[in-house]
Structure 1
Amino acid sequence: MLRVIFLGTGGSLPTPERNPAAIMINREGELLLFDCGEGTQQQMMRAKTGMKSLSSIFITHFHADHILGIPGLIQTMSFQGRTEPLKIYGPHHVHEFARILSALGYYKLRFEIDAVDLEPGDVVKRDGYSIHALKTHHSVPSIGYALIEDERVGRFNRERAIELGVPPGPLFSKLHRGEQVEVKGRIILPEEVVGEPRPGRKIVYSGDTRPCQEVLEASRDADLLIHDATLANDQQEWALESMHSTAEEAARLAKEANVSRLILTHISARYSENAEPLLTEAKKVFGNVTIAQDLLETEVVLRDEIGASQK
């Protein structure tokens, strides 16, 4: 399972329709939170994500609309009896930020906050996947993130194995694990019955940024790109000044990177009642694009499973 839940999709200011930035990724039951704007814990309750399995928070930058939800969230988890440490990753100064969090509200947390500074190019290795920090171009120090699953072993060719005289059972498993086996005096090699390694899934989250080469390169062939699309083309000058992206610019980057799907987020309050202008501009460039709405959930499916379902 690799599910993305959009808890907050607004830009800078909350609106009745959109909370500030927060994106949850549920990977095989482990919860990862990317940014945590005001009201995120209530959105988690509405989405029924739970909090117990939240292992890490990844901050893109320290603008208020991306971090103000953290104090309330960590105190709620403490009230609920959490004792496991919580990892908070972010740009330089995340240690100082974590120290301030722990001192807020005359309340001592029951768990430790483990703050980790990240620089562009740093990689957080986890079981079965890794999180890559990307350089982004915003008005303050900022980073984006790419979640990249480990490469998977190739498909096992059962028919070919039987043709080679391998009996179904434990020897199949050994071959699939990359071990050679002996059958009636003959050595059977894994590459004779196991296909080419298969890629895992890749999700890229730009955070707030101008379109940039670093996000483009990280997004190549991604299954899902979540990109800043704060403004429409008629606000191009303000996009340049505030160092955000327009919907069309995000779509052009997605097209060049050959991503499978683009979801636009960080939508300005200008479009709180109607984001259709952003979608229209993006669709002129890139077809498989969606404007994120609060509490939108989407599953990221393995590419070979998509192909199999279409046969």
Structure 2
Amino acid sequence: MQITFLGTSSGVPTRSRNVSSIALRLPQRAEFWLFDCGEGTQHQLLRSEIKTSQLRRIFITHLHGDHIFGLMGLLASCGLAGNVQEVDIYGPPGLSEYLKACSKYSHTHVAYPVHIHTITPGVIYEDEEFIVSCGSLKHRITAFGYRIVEKDRSGRFDVEKAKALEIPSGPIYGKLKRGETVTLPDGRKIDGTELCAPPEVGRKFVYCTDTVYCDGAVELAQDADVLVHESTFSHQDAQLAFDRLHSTSTMAAQVALGAGVKQLIATHFSPRYAPGNDIDLNDLLTEAKAIFPNTILAYDFLNYEIPRRLPKL
């Protein structure tokens, strides 16, 4: 699982930062999932190493323009390229109507299936590898954060040890790989867990934007390996954050601390903190690290590999 930041500015793009979008790359299944799709996202994808043909799911946090203005253009371009087979889109109420209006008035027809899912808090998608859930955030309009949990994997089965014990191959191996206890034809009982390495713990990725500090974000981010959280404002501009229901650097750090996450990556920065201004992004980083030391700042095209956890003992 690798995160690629395609846009890290809030509200409007700057010369060095596009508006909100993050790709979660899943190389084991040759696909990626997109979180938010601000204007220009398809250009950012073209500038990255990500193959647009591998787009499979899109998760929209809320319907402000800097998070959705690139969505119709991306879907249309994928249709013209003819290299996307199917896309599922998840988002708040109104997303379906927005896309239908875009399609109607731009006379855009997308030839591949697009499934739009209106979400409510809870589990919104699950397959054999992942569980995706969402939770309510606190913003000026309905907004959701997303939590992606990779399911634990069984530990590696020691085939050589099984052979040394003269366990016949076949269906028995399958049962032992699942950790079951089997009785062999000669009467021996074999505990499958003794032939398998400890289970591989699944990783957890959480994405929270746009929101002021809220308990919902802390709950969603519990025990995450990586929390990507908006940090629109400096602590010195906290009143602006409260007025506009956005987070300061210190609010993001407090969410990370309260949730017990392992890594905080701050994003969605106001252009007011550009280099040369009285307060810049280095100041925001200093503020956040004073509360949660394991904090870094995102920038466009940052790639971050979510590390695997140690196996359960």
The amino acid of 1:43's aligned partner reads Q
1:219 to 218, 221, 231: 221
Q: Percent identity?
A: 36
Unaligned segments of structure 1, at least 5 residues: none
Question: Is residue 2:94 matched to residue 1:78?
Answer: no
The amino acid of 2:64's aligned partner reads H
Query: Residues of 1 paired with 2:37 and 2:187: CA distance?
Result: 61
Match of 2:12 in 1: 13
**Per-residue CA shift, 1:272-310, capped at 9, x if unaligned?**
3341011010111111111100010111121127x9xxx
The amino acid of 2:24's aligned partner reads I
The amino acid of 2:263's aligned partner reads R
Deviation of residue 241 (structure 1)?
0.8
Question: Is residue 2:250 matched to residue 1:248?
Answer: yes
8 Å contact 1:17–1:272 — kept in the other structure? no
Q: Secondary structure at the match of 1:222?
A: coil
Match of 1:53 in 2: 54
Query: Residues of 2 paired with 1:89 and 1:123: CA distance?
Result: 8
Q: Secondary structure at the match of 1:215?
A: helix
Match of 2:154 in 1: 153
8 Å contact 1:166–1:172 — kept in the other structure? no
**Per-residue CA shift, 1:103-138, capped at 9, x if unaligned?**
242232222321110011232113310211111111
**Per-residue CA shift, 1:238-286, capped at 9, x if unaligned?**
1001111111111121122111111000000111334101101011111
1:292 to 285, 294, 298: 298
Match of 1:40 in 2: 41
Deviation of residue 168 (structure 1)?
8.9
Superposition TM-score, scaled by structure 1 size = 0.90
Q: Secondary structure at the match of 2:63?
A: coil
Deviation of residue 157 (structure 1)?
6.4
8 Å contact 1:38–1:68 — kept in the other structure? yes
Q: Secondary structure at the match of 2:122?
A: coil
Match of 2:188 in 1: 186
The amino acid of 1:121's aligned partner reads G
Aligned residues between the structures:
304
Query: Residues of 2 paired with 1:294 and 1:197: CA distance?
Result: 35
Deviation of residue 189 (structure 1)?
2.4
8 Å contact 1:229–1:246 — kept in the other structure? yes
Match of 1:270 in 2: 272
Query: Residues of 1 paired with 2:249 and 2:141: CA distance?
Result: 21
Deviation of residue 83 (structure 1)?
5.9
Unaligned segments of structure 2, at least 5 residues: none
Alignment of 1:140-179 (within 5 A): 140-154=141-155, 156=157, 165=165, 167=167, 174-179=175-180
Q: Secondary structure at the match of 1:255?
A: helix
30-39 vs 117-126, greater mean Cα deviation: 117-126
RMSD: 2.3
The amino acid of 2:302's aligned partner reads L
Superposition TM-score, scaled by structure 2 size = 0.90
Match of 1:90 in 2: 91
Query: Residues of 1 paired with 2:144 and 2:61: CA distance?
Result: 5
